Structure 1
Amino acid sequence: MNKQLKVLFIGTYVPKECGIATFTYDLLNSVSGVHDDIHCEVIALNDPSETYDYPEEVVFQIERNKLEDYHRAADFINQSDADVVCLQHEFGLFWGNAGDYIFTVLSGINKPVITTLHTVIRDPLPEYRASTEKLIQYSEKLVVMSQTAVDMLKEVYNVPDEKIEVIFHGLPDYPFNNCGKYKRMLNLKGSPLVLTFGLLSQNKGIESMLEALPGVVDQYPDLIYLILGATHPVVKKHSGEAYRDYLKKRVSELGLERNVVFHDKFVEKEELCKYILASDIYASPYLSREQIVSGALTYAIGMGKAIVSTPYWYAEEMLSDNRGMLVDFGDTDGFKDSLLYLIKNPDECNNMRKKAYDFGRKMTWKNIGKEYNNVFSKALKDYNAYPRIRNRFSFLPDQLPEVKLDYLKLLTDDVGIIQHTNLGVPARHHGYSTDDVGRGLVALIQLIDSQEKAEELWKLITTYMSFLEHAQTVSGHFHNFMNYRREFLDEEGSEDTLGRAIYGLGYVVSCPYMSKNIRTLAHTLISKSKSQMEKLNYPRAKAYTMCGLYEMLRAGVDADDFEATFVSRRDAVRSVDSLVGKETFESIFASHADSLVNLYESNHKEGWNWFEPTVTYSNAKLSESLILAYNYTKDRTYRKVGLATLDFLTDIQWKGDFFDIVGNQGWYSCDGEKPIFDQQPIEAGYLTQAYISAYKTVRERKYLELARYSFEYFLGRNRLRTPMYDPVTGAVCDGLNCDGMNCNQGAESVICYLMALNSLNKYADRVYGTVFQPAASDEVLPKRKSLLSANQSE
Structure 2
Amino acid sequence: MFYKSFGQPVSHIAVLGNALPRQCGLATYTSHSVEALRATFPELVVDHYAMDDGHGAIYGPGVKMTIGEGDIPAYIRAASAMERSGAELVWIHHEFGIFGGPAGDHLLTLLRHLSIPVVVTLHTVLARPDAEQYRVMRALIKAADGLIVMAQEAARLLETVYDADPARIRIIPHGAPDRPFSPTLPFKEKLGLGAGPTVLTFGLLSPGKGIEIAIRALPEVVQDHPALHYYIVGATHPALVRAEGEHYRETLTTLARTLGVADHVVFVDRFLGNEELLDYLQATDIYLTPYLGREQVTSGTLAYALAMGKPVVSTPYIHAEEALANGVGTLVPFGDADAISEALHDHLRDPARLEALSRAVWDSARSTIWDENARAVMDLISEAKSNMPVTIKDRRPPRAEQQVQLAGIAAMTDDVGITQHSIHGVPDRRHGYCIDDNARALRLICETRAGDPVERQRLARIYAAFVEHAWNEETGRFRNFMGYDRCWLETEGSEDSNGRTLWALGCVMRSASQPALRRWANGLFNKALPLVDEMTSPRAIAFSMLGMAAVLEVEPGHQRCRELLTSSAAQFSILLAQAQRPGWAWFEIVLAYDNARLPQAMIAAGRVLGDKVATSVGLSTLAWLLDKQRAPAGHFRPVGSDSFGRAYAEPEPFDQQPLEAEATIDACAAAHAADGDARWIEAAHRAFTWFSGENDLQLPLTCEDGTLCFDGLTPQGVNLNLGAESILALQAARQAMAQFTGTLDETPQLMVVQ
- Please indicate the TM-score interval, normalised by the length of the shorter structure: 0.5 to 0.7
- In 2: Cα distance, 1:364 partner to 1:721 partner: 40
Aligned mate of 1:268, from 270, 273, 280:
273
Which residue of the partner structure matches residue 443 of structure 1?
A: 481
Which residue of the partner structure matches residue 403 of structure 1?
A: 430
Which residue of the partner structure matches residue 19 of structure 1?
A: 25
Deviations 1:493-539 (A, max 9, x none): xxx67623637999xxxxxxxxxxxx999877514358999xx9999
CA contact (8 A) 1:49 1:63 kept: no
Deviations 1:128-176 (A, max 9, x none): 1111122222222221111111111111111112322221111111223
The structural deviation recorded for 1:755 is 7.2
Which residue of the partner structure matches residue 300 of structure 1?
A: 305
Map residues 694-713 of structure 1 onto 2, 5 A cutoff.
Answer: 710=709, 713=711
CA contact (8 A) 2:149 2:172 kept: yes
- In 1: Cα distance, 2:633 partner to 2:106 partner: 29
Read off the aligned partner of 1:129 and give its amino acid letter: Y
Which residue of the partner structure matches residue 667 of structure 1?
A: 629
- In 1: Cα distance, 2:390 partner to 2:315 partner: 45
Map residues 276-355 of structure 1 onto 2, 5 A cutoff.
Answer: 276-346=281-351, 349-350=354-355, 352-355=357-360
Change (3 A) 1:144 1:443: same
Deviations 1:386-435 (A, max 9, x none): 899xxxxxxx7796545158999xxxxxxxxxxxxxxxxxxxxxxxxxxx
- In 2: Cα distance, 1:704 partner to 1:344 partner: 74
CA contact (8 A) 2:19 2:51 kept: yes
Map residues 253-264 of structure 1 onto 2, 5 A cutoff.
Answer: 253-264=258-269
Which residue of the partner structure matches residue 48 of structure 1?
A: 54
CA contact (8 A) 1:665 1:678 kept: no
TM-score (ref. length: structure 1): 0.60
Q: Secondary structure of the residue that 1:258 maps to in structure 2?
A: helix
Which residue of the partner structure matches residue 474 of structure 1?
A: none
CA contact (8 A) 2:480 2:497 kept: no
The structural deviation recorded for 1:268 is 0.8
The structural deviation recorded for 1:547 is 14
Change (3 A) 1:78 1:142: same
Which residue of the partner structure matches residue 746 of structure 2?
A: 789
Aligned mate of 1:678, from 654, 674, 681:
654
Map residues 490-569 of structure 1 onto 2, 5 A cutoff.
Answer: 499-500=499-500, 502=502, 525-529=527-531, 541=543, 545=547
Which residue of the partner structure matches residue 68 of structure 1?
A: 73
Which residue of the partner structure matches residue 44 of structure 2?
A: 38
Read off the aligned partner of 1:205 and give its amino acid letter: G
Change (3 A) 1:313 1:404: same
Higher relative contact order (CA 8 A, sep 6+): 2
Read off the aligned partner of 1:23 and give its amino acid letter: Y
Aligned mate of 1:720, from 716, 720, 744:
716
Which residue of the partner structure matches residue 764 of structure 1?
A: none
CA contact (8 A) 2:655 2:715 kept: no
Which residue of the partner structure matches residue 12 of structure 2?
A: 6
Which residue of the partner structure matches residue 488 of structure 1?
A: none
Change (3 A) 1:787 1:98: farther
- In 1: Cα distance, 2:292 partner to 2:633 partner: 54
Change (3 A) 1:787 1:24: farther
- In 1: Cα distance, 2:263 partner to 2:542 partner: 80
Which residue of the partner structure matches residue 187 of structure 2?
A: 182
Map residues 367-766 of structure 1 onto 2, 5 A cutoff.
Answer: 367-385=372-390, 401-404=428-431, 441-444=479-482, 447=483, 453-454=485-486, 456-457=487-488, 460-462=489-491, 464=492, 499-500=499-500, 502=502, 525-529=527-531, 541=543, 545=547, 618=594, 666-667=628-629, 672-675=634-637, 677-680=653-656, 683=659, 710=709, 713=711, 720=716
- In 2: Cα distance, 1:704 partner to 1:230 partner: 51
Q: What runs of 5+ residues in structure 2 fail to find an aligned partner?
A: 3-8, 394-422, 436-474, 507-520, 565-590, 599-624, 639-652, 664-700, 730-740, 750-754
CA contact (8 A) 2:659 2:725 kept: no
CA contact (8 A) 1:616 1:668 kept: no
TM-score (ref. length: structure 2): 0.62
- In 2: Cα distance, 1:785 partner to 1:297 partner: 66
Change (3 A) 1:438 1:616: farther
Query: Which deviates further from its counterpart, 288-297 or 184-193?
Result: 184-193
Read off the aligned partner of 1:403 and give its amino acid letter: R
1:164 pairs with 2:172: no
Read off the aligned partner of 2:61 and give its amino acid letter: E
Which residue of the partner structure matches residue 124 of structure 2?
A: 119
Q: Secondary structure of the residue that 1:7 maps to in structure 2?
A: strand
Change (3 A) 1:584 1:112: farther
Change (3 A) 1:260 1:110: same
- In 2: Cα distance, 1:546 partner to 1:706 partner: 36
Deviations 1:193-222 (A, max 9, x none): 111111110111011111111122222222
- In 2: Cα distance, 1:151 partner to 1:235 partner: 32
- In 2: Cα distance, 1:253 partner to 1:20 partner: 35
Change (3 A) 1:539 1:334: same
Which residue of the partner structure matches residue 610 of structure 2?
A: none
Deviations 1:308-358 (A, max 9, x none): 100111111111021211111101111111111112244654454344222
Change (3 A) 1:791 1:101: closer
Change (3 A) 1:261 1:709: same
Which residue of the partner structure matches residue 365 of structure 1?
A: 370
CA contact (8 A) 1:227 1:262 kept: yes
1:202 pairs with 2:207: yes
Deviations 1:352-393 (A, max 9, x none): 4344222211001111111122222222222244899xxxxx
Change (3 A) 1:786 1:124: farther
- In 1: Cα distance, 2:262 partner to 2:292 partner: 24
Aligned mate of 2:139, from 134, 137, 150:
134
1:96 pairs with 2:101: yes
Q: Secondary structure of the residue that 1:403 maps to in structure 2?
A: helix
Q: Secondary structure of the residue that 2:293 maps to in structure 1?
A: coil
- In 1: Cα distance, 2:744 partner to 2:115 partner: 26
Deviations 1:275-296 (A, max 9, x none): 1111111110011111011111
Change (3 A) 1:438 1:85: farther
Which residue of the partner structure matches residue 510 of structure 1?
A: none
Which residue of the partner structure matches residue 241 of structure 1?
A: 246
- In 2: Cα distance, 1:346 partner to 1:704 partner: 72
- In 2: Cα distance, 1:212 partner to 1:193 partner: 14
- In 1: Cα distance, 2:556 partner to 2:188 partner: 102
The percentage of counterpart residues that share the same residue type is 31
- In 1: Cα distance, 2:103 partner to 2:290 partner: 27
- Superposition RMSD in Å: 4.9
